[in-house]
């Protein structure tokens, strides 16, 4: 085994993850840090220019408030999440997000404009962009703000380090380079965790040659949740996964089709199941008050789709791209311009995918699909953990002081905006729970909010906390153990001869170790079959969840035997360790909430209805004790800071 050099970095404020929230944090921290002589450093497992969920680009900015008010946005988010979100966090982002979008324009992001120079809206809150280079543009601004010397790329952060004199205060972080034999030890006064959501916890629909294709980026492996949970931070809504409806196999998004092109989706036999669900006596009336609002909440749109597919057997679900294009072409009053209009619509349809889900465009091309000639299948995908979209999982954080009511101030505010329950540990983007629908622009905004507060924290808490050197030494050994395990046992196989002859990767089966891929497959199978993945038609019960907890325990024991052939696999090992903790937290939260609040995301078959009285005004929260390996699960109140009457409109 190679010798690993230790690189020590001392800074004031460390940003962990340079995705959308991390880039926003760099832009804001850069500004305040210069004024207060605070050193800011950012670390990412990848290259900032194309890291995170926006690596491939996006075709829309999904949160822009325009002339609406933050309360309008809160109404929308609250009803989409079936009543549960943090009013203070959602409104805080909503009141600042316009500024972020205007900043983006200044960075050079091409936002679509109409003939009058106004932004082109996809829906009420969404703006169309030419966003293939969205991440590169935003990352460049972040890099300029804090300076190239303060950017550390291709270093995977494994764990946070606590103050040796105060276990409720963060003091450092440890990770390793994914390119060179180097361990990184960071020491700081404050840090911001914005390492994205979690993908490949549940079994993906893509297998075999499609393996690795997912909607959300496979390199977001639950690190945000792992880092904050292991540090002892209170976590929230870990049961609220997101199941996106997507074009089949390529995972192309549906938003532009539903909102911009106003396309209809139907069951295989042609029924408009959403209109039927909304109509008098339709399924949505079984989910009051949320089934009657507009837009139909995301989970309920899935729910209607799942009834067609699984209960009626009237799948697959079809998106009628052809009819939408024909209708929009017909709407062109000048018949001479219709041909041009058709060409424009066709290219917009392709660009929607080419800007953010290139694989869907490739799949359409390879299957000879012409969106103007026929419909395409859409499907509910595997569940993802993503606090920034239509899910809600993440850390329980302090909100802004000025948005609190007398009642909420005691529950939702403890000094620094977006600080977790651990001193000096901040979170943003997918890492924060209960402030859903922030998307790319809102995540960047939340990064800005958190970074400003974190710089303030550094100024007001100038003493550098101390890390425990003995703990660091132990962790170094633990981090590199998979390389050692492989070296010790790789020759032990009865299949060596086969390997020689066929060059098969026989090390994958070895009684002494488990490869990261195998560990992930095992996790995926457990979650899919017992915790309401697509393979179990999104259904679970106390019985299946308890089976999952037993199996996860066995998997956790085997994680000590993970083996890595090289640095790349070492990364894969630790990604799976991160995934397993969020899997367990999720399972425990799901078990705790005895109702079905988000049908279409998951069903508790033993509690198949929504239970407003018992669960309508509480969040499920948890704290993990890493020393004892124990979760404590409990509730926190949903406090309505703003009374919302009625909400309509897309
Ligand atoms: O509509 C470590 N999203 C969309 N947002 C929009 O505004 N418009 C759209 O059109 C969107 N669509 C969409 C979206 C995402 C994807 C994948 C597709 C389509 C195909 C959502 C946004 O992208 C999302 O909300 C934000 O990006 C969330 O921001 P953030 O910062 O929370 O996550 P990130 O950007 O993925 O960044 C995470 C970073 O952390 C790094 N990282 N670094 C060090 N150590 C570790 N252990 C780490 N683990 C992770 C990552 O490398 C990354 O840089 S639509 O179709 O839904
Ligand atoms: P998506 O492409 O599904 O990620 O959606 C992009 C944006 O459009 C998100 O803000 C979604 O909540 C919203 N959206 C997608 N489909 C619909 C729909 N049928 N009705 C209302 N909003 C939608």
Q: What is the CATH number assigned to the segment(s) 478-618?
A: 1.20.58.100
What is the number of helices (H) and of strands (E) in the chain?
Answer: 19, 21
Q: Is 320 a catalytic residue?
A: no
Of the two residues 390 and 336, the one the predictor is more confident about is 390
Ligand nearest to the CA of 49: 1
pTM: 0.96
DSSP 129: B
Quote the percentage of the chain above a pLDDT of 70: 97
460 is catalytic: no
CA 424 to chain centre: 23
Element (H, E) at 488: helix 469-489
Please determine, for residue 497, whether its predicted confidence score (pLDDT) is greater than 60.
no
How far is the C-alpha of 12 from the C-alpha of 384, rounded, in Å? Answer: 33
Q: How many CB atoms lie within 10 A of CB 427?
A: 33
Q: Exposure string (b/e) for 591-603, b if CB count within 10 Å is 16 or more? A: bbbebbbbbbbbb
For residue 85, give the DSSP letter. -
The question of whether 122 is a catalytic residue gets the answer yes
Burial of 306 (C-beta count, 10 Å sphere; 0-12/13-18/19+):
buried
What pLDDT sits at residue 490? 82
| Residue of the CA atom closest to atom 48 of ligand 1 | 195
For residue 643, what pLDDT is reported? Answer: 82
124 lines ligand 2 (CB under 6 A): no
Residue 492 has pLDDT above 80, yes or no: no
Higher pLDDT, 350 or 201: 201
pLDDT for residue 649 is more than 80: no
Kindly give the interhelix angle for 567-592 and 223-230, rounded to the nearest 10 degrees: 70
- In this prediction, residue 476 has a pLDDT band, given cuts at 50, 70 and 90, of very high
Q: How far is the CA of 295 from the centre of ligand 2 (A)?
A: 9
Q: In the chain, which residues fall in CATH 3.50.50.60?
A: 5-54+136-241+384-469
Contact criterion met (CB below 8 Å) for 175 and 156: yes
Cα separations (Å) of 400 from 75, 387, 439?
19, 18, 20
Which residues of the chain does CATH 3.90.700.10 include? 246-380
Answer yes or no: 209 catalytic: no
Q: Which of 203, 213, 246, 579 is catalytic?
A: 246
At residue 495 the predicted structure's pLDDT band, cuts being 50, 70 and 90, is low
How many other C-beta atoms are found inside a 10 Å radius of the C-beta of residue 548?
25
CA distance 645 to 650: 16
Q: Does 494 score more than 60 pLDDT?
A: no
Q: Which pLDDT tens digit goes with each residue over 2-45?
A: 799 999 999 999 999 999 999 999 999 999 999 999 999 999 99
Candidates 264, 352, 528, 569; catalytic one: 352
Q: Which residues of 371-407 are buried (b: 16+ CB within 10 A; e: fewer)?
A: bbeebbebbbbbbbbbbbbbbbbbbbbbbbeebbeee
Where does the pLDDT of residue 493 fall: very low under 50, low under 70, confident under 90, or very high at 90 and above? low
Instruction: Name which of 234, 532, 589 is nearest 394 in CA terms.
Output: 234
Give 390 Cα–ligand 2 centroid separation in angstroms: 9
Going by their DSSP bridges, the two strands 127-128 and 60-61 should be labelled as antiparallel
Q: Name the band, by pLDDT with cuts 50, 70 and 90, for residue 348.
A: confident
Whether 221 shows a pLDDT value over 80: the answer reads yes
Please tell me the CATH code under which domain 246-380 is placed: 3.90.700.10
Q: Write out pLDDT tens, residues 530-540.
A: 999 999 999 99
Query: Which residues have a Cβ under 8 Å from the Cβ of 400 and sit 6 or more positions away?
Result: 88, 92, 413, 417, 449
Choose the catalytic residue: 440, 441, 536, 576. 440
* DSSP letters for 134-177: HHHHHHHHHHHHH-GGGEE-SEEEEEEEEETTEEEEEEEEEEEE
Q: What CA–CA distance (Å, rounded) separates 635 from 637?
A: 7
391 lines ligand 2 (CB under 6 A): no
Closest CA relative to residue 21, chosen from 63, 77, 80: 63
| pLDDT band, very low/low/confident/very high, at 650 (cuts 50, 70, 90) | very low
Task: Say if CB 18 and CB 44 are below 8 A apart.
Answer: yes
Contact 123, 255 (CB under 8 A): yes
pLDDT at 474: 97
Angstrom distance (rounded) from CA 385 to CA 388: 9
pLDDT surpasses 60 at 394 = yes
Phi, psi of 174 (to 5 degrees): -130, 140
Decide: 576 in ligand 1 pocket, CB within 6 A. no
pLDDT of residue 306: 98
pLDDT surpasses 90 at 82: yes
Burial of 615 (0-12, 13-18, 19+ CB in 10 A): buried
Q: Ligand 1 within 6 A of 194 CB? A: yes
Given a cut of 70, whether residue 257 has pLDDT beyond it is: yes
pLDDT at 180 over 50: yes
Residue 352 is among the residues annotated as catalytic for this protein: yes
Q: Does 647 have pLDDT greater than 60? A: no
> Does residue 463 register a pLDDT over 70?
yes
Mean pLDDT of the chain: 94
User: How many CA within 13 A on the CB side of residue 498?
Assistant: 9
The mean per-residue pLDDT over the stretch 543-572 comes to 97
Contact 130, 355 (CB under 8 A): yes
What is 5-54+136-241+384-469's CATH number, 2.60.40.3120, 3.40.50.300, 1.10.10.10, 3.50.50.60? 3.50.50.60
Q: Which of 602, 515, 598, 574 lies closest to 222 in space, CA to CA?
A: 574
> Which ligand is closest in space to the CA of residue 124?
2
Strands 40-43, 151-152: parallel, antiparallel or unpaired by DSSP? Answer: parallel
Query: Ligand 1: which of 46, 52, 390 to mutate, most ligand atoms within 8 Å of CB?
Result: 52
Lowest mean pLDDT among 11-15, 330-334, 389-393, 605-609: 330-334
Q: Which range is most confident: 195-204, 250-259, 278-287, 319-328?
A: 195-204
Which part of the chain is CATH 1.20.58.100? 478-618
Instruction: Find the ligand nearest to 18 CA.
Output: 1
Residue 389 is among the residues annotated as catalytic for this protein: yes
Residue 635 above 70 pLDDT? yes
């Amino acid at each position: 085994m190679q010798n690993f050099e230790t690189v020590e970095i001392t800074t004031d404020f460390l940003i962990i993850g340079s995705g959308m929230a991390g880039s926003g944090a760099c832009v804001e921290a850069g500004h305040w840090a210069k004024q207060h002589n605070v050193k800011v450093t950012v670390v990412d497992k990848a290259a900032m220019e194309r890291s995170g969920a926006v690596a491939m680009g996006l075709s829309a900015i999904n949160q822009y408030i325009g002339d609406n008010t933050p309360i309008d946005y809160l109404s929308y988010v609250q009803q989409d999440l079936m009543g549960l979100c943090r009013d203070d966090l959602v409104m805080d982002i909503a009141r600042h997000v316009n500024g972020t979008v205007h900043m983006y324009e200044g960075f050079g992001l091409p936002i679509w404009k109409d003939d009058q120079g106004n932004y082109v809206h996809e829906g009420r809150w969404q703006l169309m962009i030419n966003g293939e280079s969205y991440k590169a543009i935003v990352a460049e601004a972040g890099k300029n703000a804090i300076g190239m010397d303060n950017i550390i790329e291709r270093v995977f952060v494994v764990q946070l380090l606590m103050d040796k004199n105060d276990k409720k205060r963060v003091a450092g972080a440890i990770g390793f380079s994914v390119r060179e034999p180097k361990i990184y030890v960071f020491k700081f006064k404050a840090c911001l965790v914005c390492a994205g959501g979690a993908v490949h916890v549940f079994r993906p629909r893509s297998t075999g040659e499609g393996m690795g294709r997912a909607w959300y980026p496979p390199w977001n492996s639950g690190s945000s949740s792992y880092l904050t949970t292991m540090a002892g931070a209170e976590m929230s809504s870990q049961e609220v996964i997101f199941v996106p409806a997507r074009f089949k196999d390529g995972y192309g998004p549906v938003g532009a089709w539903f909102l911009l092109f106003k396309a209809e989706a139907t069951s295989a036999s042609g029924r408009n199941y959403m209109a039927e669900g909304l109509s008098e006596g339709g399924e949505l009336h079984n989910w009051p008050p949320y089934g009657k609002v507009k837009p139909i909440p995301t989970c309920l749109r899935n729910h209607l789709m799942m009834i067609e597919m699984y209960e009626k057997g009237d799948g697959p679900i079809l998106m009628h791209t052809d009819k939408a294009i024909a209708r929009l072409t017909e709407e062109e009053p000048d018949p001479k311009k219709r041909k041009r209009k058709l060409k424009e619509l066709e290219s917009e349809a392709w660009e929607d995918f080419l800007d953010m889900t290139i694989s869907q465009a490739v799949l359409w091309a390879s299957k000879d699909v012409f969106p103007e000639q026929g419909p395409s299948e859409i499907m509910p995908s595997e569940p993802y953990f993503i606090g920034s979209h239509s899910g809600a999982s993440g850390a329980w954080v302090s909100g802004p002081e000025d948005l609190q009511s007398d009642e909420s101030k005691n529950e939702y505010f403890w000094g620094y905006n977006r600080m977790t329950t651990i001193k000096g540990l901040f979170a943003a983007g997918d890492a924060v729970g209960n402030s859903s629908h922030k998307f790319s622009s809102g995540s960047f905004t939340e990064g800005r909010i958190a970074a400003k507060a974190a710089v303030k924290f550094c100024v007001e808490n100038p003493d550098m906390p101390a890390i425990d050197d003995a703990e660091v030494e132990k962790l170094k050994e633990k981090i590199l153990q998979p390389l050692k395990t492989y070296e010790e046992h790789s020759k032990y196989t009865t299949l060596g001869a086969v390997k020689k002859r066929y060059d098969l990767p026989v090390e994958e089966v070895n009684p002494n170790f488990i490869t990261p891929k195998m560990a992930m497959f095992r996790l995926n199978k457990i979650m899919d079959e017992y915790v309401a993945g697509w393979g179990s038609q999104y259904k679970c019960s106390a019985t299946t969840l308890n089976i999952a907890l037993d199996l996860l325990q066995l998997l956790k024991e085997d994680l000590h035997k993970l083996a890595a052939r090289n640095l790349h696999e070492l990364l894969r090992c630790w990604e799976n360790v991160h995934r397993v903790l969020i899997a367990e937290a999720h399972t425990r939260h799901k078990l705790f909430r005895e109702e079905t609040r988000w049908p279409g995301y998951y069903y508790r078959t033993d509690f198949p209805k929504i239970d407003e009285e018992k669960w309508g005004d509480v969040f499920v929260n948890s704290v993990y004790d890493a020393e004892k390996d124990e979760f404590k699960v409990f509730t926190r109140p949903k406090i309505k800071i703003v009374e919302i009457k009625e909400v309509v409109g897309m």
